[in-house]
C-alpha cells in the first residue's frame, strides 16, 4: 500500500514538475523571441548610425538610393563608385542627347545614371530597383548609345510586346523572338544580328528560346565574333534562383550566355531579390564579382494610411465613395478587392454612387479587360475596381490613389499593389481598409502557400500597428531602414502622432482562453466570428451562462483577438474539405502562460471609430482628423457575468444549440441536432433529389472559390500570369479538378445533412483525418507534385487510414490515392 501511495505521490510530483518545465520552456521561448526582436532592432539602429556617419563624411556617402556592396563593389572605392554618377565619360553627351530626344525625359532617377555608366564601362551588374522606378531605361538607353544590339531576356511575352511597341513609338528599332514569332519576323531578326548595318538595337527573347533554339545560339556566336553583341540584359533575374519567388527552370540554363560570351557585359534586373537570391543568381549566370546596385524602396511621394473597416459593408463603401467624390474628384485611381465577386459588387456600389468605376478580374473576357484598361489609361474611366489580376504592366503615371478594400496577403504584395500610385513622382495616397473578417478569408486562401500565414500575419501586424511609422515597418521587408524622418509625415501614424495608451489586456486574454477551453471541452470549434460573438455576449444563452463576456466595443474585442493570434496565444486551425477551407481558432502555444499569475499582456489600441466612417484628410494636403475616441479604454472595460446581466441579448430557442463545426461565419445559422435528425428521417423520399441539388450547389461554390483563388493567389510572377492568359479560353472559368468532382469521400456540409447517422459519423472521422493529412502532405516536397504519387507518399497517407472505419466499398489504397490526387490537384491550383 505504502509503495502504491509513494508511486502516486511521485507520479503527481512528476506531473507538476513537467507542467512547470513546460511553462518555463514557453517563457524561455518568449524571451528568445524578444531577444530576436531586439537584435533586429539593434541592427537597424546600427545601420542608421552608419548612414548618419556616412552623411557626415561626404566622401563616403551614398545617395538616398543606396548601393549595397558586393565583393566587387567593395574592391572599388566609394570615390571610384561616385565617379559613375558623373557625366565626364566619352558617351556622356550621347546619353544626354538620347535621354532628351529619344526618350523625352529631363533627368535620370536615382541610380539610373550610375547603372548606365557602369554597364557602358563594361561592368557586370545586378540592379535591384522597385517596380516602376525605371529599370528598363538602364539597358534601353545604353543599347541606343552602343554599336550592335542588346539581347534582352525577359520571361513575359506581354512585357516584350509592351516594350517593343513603346520603343517603336520612339523610333528605336526592337524585335522579339518567342514561340509565337512568325517565320519572317524570326528570319529578319536572325539576319539583323550579324549585319553591322542593321538598325536593330534591342532583341527580346524568352529564356526558353535561349535554352531550345540552336539556331539562335549560333547566330549569337557569330554576332559575338563580329563585336555586334553589345550587352545582355536579364530581366526579372531573380527567376534564376530557386529561392526567388518566381523560379523558372529555363532561367537556370542562362549561364551559357556568360560562358559563351565572356566579354559581353551582363545586366541583371529585378525588383525583389534578396542578397542570398542574388548570390545564387551570380553562380547560375556565371558572372564573376558583379556590382550590385540597390535603389531605395522608399517611395517618398506615397502617403500610407490604414483605416478600420466597419463590419457593415455599406459603411466602408460610403467611406470609399466619399473619398473618391471628394478628395480624389476627377483623379485616377484603383480600388483593389479580394475576389472577382467583390470586384463586380464594389464597382456596382460605386456606380450607384455616381462614380465611374469598372471591374477588372481574370475571369472577364479578354476584350472587356483590355477595354477597361484602355479607358482607364486614357482617363475615360476614373476608377478600376480590380483583383490582383490587374497587376504588372500597369504603368499609368498619374494614379493618385490606390485603395485596398481588403488587406493584401503580404507586405510585399501590398507594396507592389499600392506602388502603382504616384509613378509620376507627385504625391499619391495608399489607403488600406483593415477588416477583422477579411483576415480569415485571406488566411484560408493562402493556407497552402509555404509561408503564406506568416506573411499574412505580418500584413495584419502592419495594419494593427497604431504608433510606429508605417514606412519603417515596410522597410524591414526590404532589408532597409526608413526612419520617421525619411517618412516626413507621409503616413497616418507619423502625421497623427497619437499617444495611445498601453492597455493591459491580460484579463481579456484570459476570458478568450476560457471561452475556447469551454468550447473544446464541449468538443466544439469556434470560427473567429463566433468567438467574438460569444465573448461579446451574442452567443447561445447556454454558453453565456458559463463564460465571462466583455462590454468592450466589438472593434476592440476584435483587436484583442487579433493581437492574441499575432502573439501566439491563439492559433489557427484549418479544416479542409475538397470544396472549401474553414478557419477555426484554437489555443496557441503561449496560452498556458496566462495561467501564471505574474504574466501580463499589453497592447496599444486605437479607440473604436466614432459612428460611420470618418473621412480623414489624407495625402500631402492638410492633416487628417483623428477619429473621436470613446470615453472608455479597453483596459477600463468592466468584466460582466452575463448570466445575471439583464442587458444581455436574449437567446432564441434556435440559439441554444451546440456549434456545428461545419458552419462558418457566412453560413446559415446552426441547425439544432434534434431538428436535423427529424429532417433526416423525413427526407428519405426526397433524398436523391436533394443530394443532386446539393452536389450541384457545392460544385458551383467550388468553381467560384477556385476562380477567386485564381485571382487572389495569383502572384505578379510571370508563371502565374502566363498560365492565366494562355490556359483558359475566352470567358471560361478554370475547370475544377476532376478528382474533386469524382470524390468517393463525401465531405461537403450540405451532403452531410442527407446521409445516415452512421455515414455521418464515418464522414466526420474522415473529415478530421483528411484535415490533418492535408496539413502533413502540405509539407511534402513540391517536387512530388505533378508526378504519380510515390510509394513513400502513399504509405504515409495509408498508415493512419488503417485506424479509421472507412465507408463500405472504399478501400484504403483507393482512399489514399484519391486523397493524394485531390491534395496535389488543389495545391497545383493554388500555385498557378
Ligand X SMILES: Nc1ncnc2c1ncn2[C@H]1C[C@H](O)[C@@H](COP(=O)(O)OP(=O)(O)OP(=O)(O)O)O1
Contact map string, positions 57 to 96, toward ligand X, x by CB under 6 A: ----------------------------------------
Please say which residue, 98 or 135, places its beta carbon nearer to ligand X: 135
Q: Nearest to ligand X by Cβ — which residue?
A: 134
Which residues touch 158 (CB under 8 Å, ≥6 apart)? Answer: 393, 721, 725
DSSP 390-403: S-TT---TTEEEEE
The reply to whether 283 belongs to the active site is no
- Phi, psi dihedral angles at 405 (to 5 degrees): -70, -25
| Using rule CB under 6 A, residue 721 touches ligand X | no
E strand or H helix that includes residue 11:
helix 2-56
| Using rule CB under 6 A, residue 699 touches ligand X | no
**Nine cell digits for residue 799:** 498508415
Is residue 274 within 8 A of residue 227, CB to CB? The reply is no
Span near ligand X by CB under 6 A; candidates 45-53, 130-138, 443-451, 763-771: 130-138
| Using rule CB under 6 A, residue 137 touches ligand X | yes
**Total chain residues near ligand X (CB under 6 A):** 16
CA dihedral 550, 434, 311, 657 (to 10 degrees): -60
Tell which positions 507-546 bind ligand X, by CB under 6 A: none
From the list 278, 261, 252, the residue with the least C-alpha distance to 223 is: 261
Partnered with residue 602 across adjacent β-strands are: 504
Q: Which of 105, 286, 315, 759 binds ligand X (CB under 6 A)?
A: 105
Is residue 229 within 8 A of residue 263, CB to CB? The reply is no
- For the chain, the C-alpha Rg in angstroms (whole number) is 30
Please say which residue, 131 or 662, places its beta carbon nearer to ligand X: 131
**CB 395 to ligand X: min, Å:** 5
**CB 130 to ligand X: min, Å:** 7
Q: Which of 136, 298, 332, 694 binds ligand X (CB under 6 A)?
A: 136
**CB 299 to ligand X: min, Å:** 12
**CB 131 to ligand X: min, Å:** 4
d(CA 159, CA 392): 9
Please say which residue, 156 or 364, places its beta carbon nearer to ligand X: 156
**CB 473 to ligand X: min, Å:** 22
Which residues touch 558 (CB under 8 Å, ≥6 apart)? Answer: 436, 532
| Using rule CB under 6 A, residue 172 touches ligand X | no
**CB 396 to ligand X: min, Å:** 9
| Using rule CB under 6 A, residue 615 touches ligand X | no
Please say which residue, 129 or 512, places its beta carbon nearer to ligand X: 129
Number of Cβ within 10 Å of residue 486's Cβ equals 20
From the list 407, 398, 118, the residue with the least C-alpha distance to 267 is: 118
**CB 683 to ligand X: min, Å:** 56
From the list 171, 208, 207, 215, the residue with the least C-alpha distance to 189 is: 215
**CB 199 to ligand X: min, Å:** 22
Please say which residue, 166 or 247, places its beta carbon nearer to ligand X: 166
Return the exposure string of 40-70: e unless at least 16 CB atoms fall within 10 Å of the residue's CB, then b.
Answer: eeeebeeeeeebeeeeeeeeeebeebbbebb
Give the three-class secondary structure for 269: strand
Span near ligand X by CB under 6 A; candidates 113-121, 133-141, 490-498, 603-611: 133-141
Taking CA atoms, 720 is separated from 371, 714, 727, 729, in Å, by 22, 6, 11, 16
Span near ligand X by CB under 6 A; candidates 102-110, 496-504, 519-527, 658-666: 102-110
Which residues touch 334 (CB under 8 Å, ≥6 apart)? Answer: 383, 384, 385, 386, 390, 399, 401, 402, 403, 420, 421
Of 48, 135, 201, 650, which is the active-site residue? Answer: 135
Is residue 474 within 8 A of residue 480, CB to CB? The reply is no
**Nine cell digits for residue 747:** 465531405
Span near ligand X by CB under 6 A; candidates 84-92, 132-140, 202-210, 240-248: 132-140
**CB 142 to ligand X: min, Å:** 13
Please say which residue, 176 or 228, places its beta carbon nearer to ligand X: 176
| Using rule CB under 6 A, residue 109 touches ligand X | yes
Using alpha carbons only, what angle is made at residue 34 by residues 31 and 37, rounded to the nearest 5 degrees?
A: 155
| Using rule CB under 6 A, residue 108 touches ligand X | yes
Which residues touch 661 (CB under 8 Å, ≥6 apart)? Answer: 524, 525, 575, 582, 584
Span near ligand X by CB under 6 A; candidates 36-44, 135-143, 638-646, 789-797: 135-143
Please say which residue, 139 or 535, places its beta carbon nearer to ligand X: 139
**Nine cell digits for residue 219:** 547566330
Please say which residue, 84 or 434, places its beta carbon nearer to ligand X: 84
| Using rule CB under 6 A, residue 135 touches ligand X | yes
**Nine cell digits for residue 665:** 461565419
Tell which positions 244-273 bind ligand X, by CB under 6 A: 271
**CB 333 to ligand X: min, Å:** 18
**CB 353 to ligand X: min, Å:** 31
Please say which residue, 45 or 170, places its beta carbon nearer to ligand X: 170
CA terminus-to-terminus distance, the chain: 67
**Nine cell digits for residue 15:** 506531473
Span near ligand X by CB under 6 A; candidates 86-94, 134-142, 315-323, 808-816: 134-142
| Using rule CB under 6 A, residue 303 touches ligand X | no
Please say which residue, 108 or 712, places its beta carbon nearer to ligand X: 108
Please say which residue, 392 or 766, places its beta carbon nearer to ligand X: 392
Q: Which of 114, 133, 400, 525 binds ligand X (CB under 6 A)?
A: 133
| Using rule CB under 6 A, residue 51 touches ligand X | no
Please say which residue, 135 or 563, places its beta carbon nearer to ligand X: 135
d(CA 694, CA 337): 29
| Using rule CB under 6 A, residue 131 touches ligand X | yes
Count how many residues are written for the chain: 832
**CB 106 to ligand X: min, Å:** 7
Q: Which of 70, 132, 231, 456 binds ligand X (CB under 6 A)?
A: 132
Span near ligand X by CB under 6 A; candidates 126-134, 569-577, 645-653, 754-762: 126-134
Tell which positions 406-435 bind ligand X, by CB under 6 A: 423
Is residue 229 within 8 A of residue 261, CB to CB? The reply is yes
Report which DSSP code applies to 782: G
**CB 156 to ligand X: min, Å:** 10
Taking CA atoms, 517 is separated from 235, 400, 405, 569, in Å, by 53, 48, 34, 13
According to the 3-state scheme, what is the secondary structure of 545-593? HHCEEECCCHHHHHHHHHHHHHCCCEEEEEEECCCCEEEEEEECCCHHH
Tell which positions 385-404 bind ligand X, by CB under 6 A: 392, 395
| Using rule CB under 6 A, residue 216 touches ligand X | no
Do the strands 291-294 and 125-128 form a parallel or antiparallel pair, or are they unpaired?
parallel
| Using rule CB under 6 A, residue 142 touches ligand X | no
Span near ligand X by CB under 6 A; candidates 103-111, 184-192, 533-541, 742-750: 103-111
Please say which residue, 163 or 443, places its beta carbon nearer to ligand X: 163
Contact map string, positions 315 to 334, toward ligand X, x by CB under 6 A: --------------------
Q: Which of 26, 81, 116, 129 binds ligand X (CB under 6 A)?
A: 129
**Nine cell digits for residue 643:** 448570466
Taking CA atoms, 747 is separated from 581, 708, 752, in Å, by 11, 21, 7
**Could you tell me if residue 227 is left (phi over 0), alpha (psi between -120 and 50 degrees) or otherwise beta?**
left
Q: Could you list the residues that contact ligand X (CB under 6 A)? A: 105, 108-109, 112, 129, 131-137, 271, 392, 395, 423
Which positions are annotated as active-site residues?
A: 135
Amino acid at each position: 500500500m505504502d509503495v502504491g501511495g509513494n508511486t502516486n505521490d511521485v507520479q503527481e510530483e512528476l506531473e507538476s514538475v513537467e507542467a512547470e518545465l513546460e511553462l518555463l520552456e514557453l517563457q524561455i521561448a518568449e524571451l528568445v523571441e524578444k531577444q530576436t526582436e531586439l537584435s533586429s532592432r539593434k541592427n537597424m539602429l546600427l545601420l542608421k548610425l552608419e548612414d548618419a556617419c556616412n552623411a557626415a563624411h561626404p566622401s563616403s556617402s551614398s545617395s538616398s538610393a543606396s548601393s549595397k556592396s558586393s565583393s566587387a563593389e567593395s574592391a572599388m572605392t566609394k570615390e571610384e563608385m561616385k565617379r559613375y554618377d558623373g557625366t565626364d565619360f566619352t558617351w556622356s553627351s550621347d546619353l544626354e542627347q538620347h535621354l532628351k530626344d529619344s526618350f523625352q525625359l529631363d533627368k535620370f532617377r536615382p541610380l539610373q545614371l550610375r547603372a548606365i555608366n557602369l554597364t557602358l564601362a563594361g561592368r557586370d551588374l545586378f540592379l535591384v530597383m522597385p517596380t516602376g522606378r525605371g529599370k528598363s531605361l538602364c539597358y534601353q538607353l545604353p543599347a541606343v548609345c552602343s554599336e550592335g544590339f542588346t539581347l534582352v531576356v525577359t520571361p513575359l511575352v506581354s512585357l516584350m510586346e509592351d516594350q517593343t511597341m513603346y520603343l517603336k513609338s520612339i523610333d528605336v528599332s526592337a524585335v522579339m523572338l518567342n514561340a509565337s514569332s512568325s517565320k519572317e519576323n524570326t528570319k529578319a531578326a536572325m539576319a539583323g544580328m550579324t549585319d553591322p548595318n542593321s538598325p536593330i538595337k534591342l532583341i527580346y527573347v524568352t529564356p526558353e528560346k535561349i535554352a531550345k533554339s540552336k539556331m539562335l545560339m549560333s547566330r549569337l556566336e557569330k554576332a559575338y565574333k563580329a563585336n555586334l553583341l553589345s550587352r545582355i540584359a536579364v530581366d526579372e533575374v531573380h527567376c534564376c534562383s530557386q529561392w526567388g519567388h518566381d523560379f523558372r527552370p529555363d532561367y537556370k540554363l542562362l549561364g551559357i550566355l556568360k560562358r559563351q560570351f565572356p566579354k559581353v557585359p551582363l545586366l541583371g534586373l529585378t525588383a525583389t531579390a534578396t542578397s542570398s537570391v542574388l548570390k545564387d543568381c551570380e553562380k547560375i549566370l556565371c558572372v564573376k564579382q558583379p556590382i550590385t546596385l540597390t535603389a531605395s524602396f522608399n517611395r517618398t511621394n506615397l502617403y500610407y494610411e490604414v483605416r478600420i473597416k466597419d463590419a457593415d459593408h455599406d459603411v466602408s463603401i460610403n467611406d470609399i465613395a466619399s473619398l473618391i467624390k471628394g478628395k480624389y474628384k476627377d483623379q485616377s485611381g484603383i480600388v483593389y478587392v479580394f475576389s472577382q465577386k467583390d470586384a463586380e459588387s464594389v464597382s456596382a456600389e460605386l456606380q450607384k454612387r455616381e462614380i465611374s468605376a469598372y471591374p477588372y478580374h481574370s475571369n472577364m473576357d479578354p476584350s472587356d479587360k483590355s477595354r477597361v484598361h484602355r479607358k482607364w489609361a486614357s482617363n475615360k474611366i476614373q476608377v478600376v475596381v480590380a483583383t490582383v489580376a490587374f497587376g504588372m504592366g500597369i504603368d499609368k503615371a498619374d494614379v493618385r490613389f490606390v485603395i485596398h478594400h481588403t488587406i493584401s496577403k503580404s507586405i510585399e504584395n501590398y507594396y507592389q499593389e499600392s506602388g502603382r500610385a504616384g509613378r509620376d513622382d507627385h504625391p499619391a495616397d495608399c489607403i488600406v481598409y483593415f477588416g477583422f473578417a477579411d483576415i480569415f478569408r485571406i488566411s484560408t486562401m493562402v493556407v497552402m502557400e509555404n509561408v503564406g500565414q506568416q506573411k499574412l500575419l505580418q500584413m495584419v501586424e502592419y495594419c494593427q500597428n497604431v504608433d510606429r511609422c508605417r514606412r519603417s515597418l515596410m522597410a524591414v521587408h526590404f532589408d532597409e531602414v526608413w526612419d520617421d524622418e525619411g517618412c516626413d509625415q507621409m503616413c497616418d501614424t507619423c502625421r497623427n502622432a497619437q499617444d495611445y495608451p498601453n492597455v493591459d489586456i491580460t484579463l481579456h486574454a484570459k476570458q478568450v482562453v476560457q471561452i475556447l477551453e469551454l468550447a473544446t471541452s464541449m468538443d466544439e470549434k469556434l470560427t473567429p466570428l463566433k468567438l467574438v460573438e460569444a465573448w461579446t455576449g451574442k452567443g447561445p444563452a447556454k454558453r453565456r451562462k458559463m463564460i465571462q463576456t466583455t462590454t468592450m466595443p466589438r472593434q476592440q474585442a476584435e483587436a484583442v483577438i487579433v493581437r492574441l493570434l499575432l502573439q501566439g496565444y491563439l492559433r489557427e486551425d484549418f479544416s479542409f474539405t475538397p470544396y472549401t477551407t474553414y478557419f477555426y481558432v484554437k489555443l496557441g502555444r503561449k496560452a498556458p502562460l496566462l495561467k501564471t499569475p505574474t504574466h501580463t499582456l499589453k497592447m496599444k489600441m486605437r479607440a473604436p471609430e466614432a459612428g460611420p466612417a470618418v473621412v480623414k484628410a489624407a495625402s500631402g494636403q492638410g492633416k487628417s482628423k483623428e477619429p473621436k475616441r470613446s470615453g472608455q479604454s479597453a483596459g477600463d472595460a468592466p468584466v460582466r457575468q452575463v448570466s445575471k446581466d439583464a442587458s444581455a441579448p436574449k437567446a432564441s430557442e434556435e440559439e441554444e444549440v451546440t456549434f456545428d463545426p461545419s458552419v462558418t461565419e457566412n453560413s446559415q445559422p446552426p441547425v439544432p441536432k434534434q431538428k436535423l435528425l427529424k429532417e433526416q428521417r423525413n427526407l428519405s423520399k426526397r433524398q436523391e433529389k436533394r443530394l443532386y441539388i446539393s452536389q450541384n450547389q457545392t460544385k458551383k461554390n467550388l468553381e467560384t472559390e477556385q476562380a477567386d483563388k485564381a485571382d487572389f493567389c495569383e502572384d505578379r510572377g510571370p508563371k502565374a500570369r502566363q498560365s492565366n492568359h494562355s490556359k483558359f479560353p475566352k470567358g471560361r472559368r478554370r475547370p475544377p479538378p476532376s478528382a474533386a468532382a469524382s470524390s468517393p469521400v463525401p465531405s461537403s456540409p450540405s451532403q452531410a445533412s442527407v446521409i445516415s447517422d452512421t455515414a455521418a459519423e464515418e464522414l466526420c472521422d474522415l473529415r478530421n483525418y483528411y484535415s490533418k493529412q492535408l496539413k502533413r502532405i502540405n509539407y511534402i516536397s513540391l517536387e512530388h507534385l505533378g508526378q504519380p504519387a510515390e510509394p513513400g507518399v502513399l504509405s504515409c497517407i495509408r498508415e493512419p487510414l488503417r485506424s479509421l472505419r472507412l465507408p463500405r466499398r472504399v478501400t484504403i489504397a483507393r482512399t489514399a490515392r484519391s486523397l493524394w490526387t485531390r491534395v496535389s490537384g488543389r495545391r497545383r491550383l493554388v500555385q498557378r
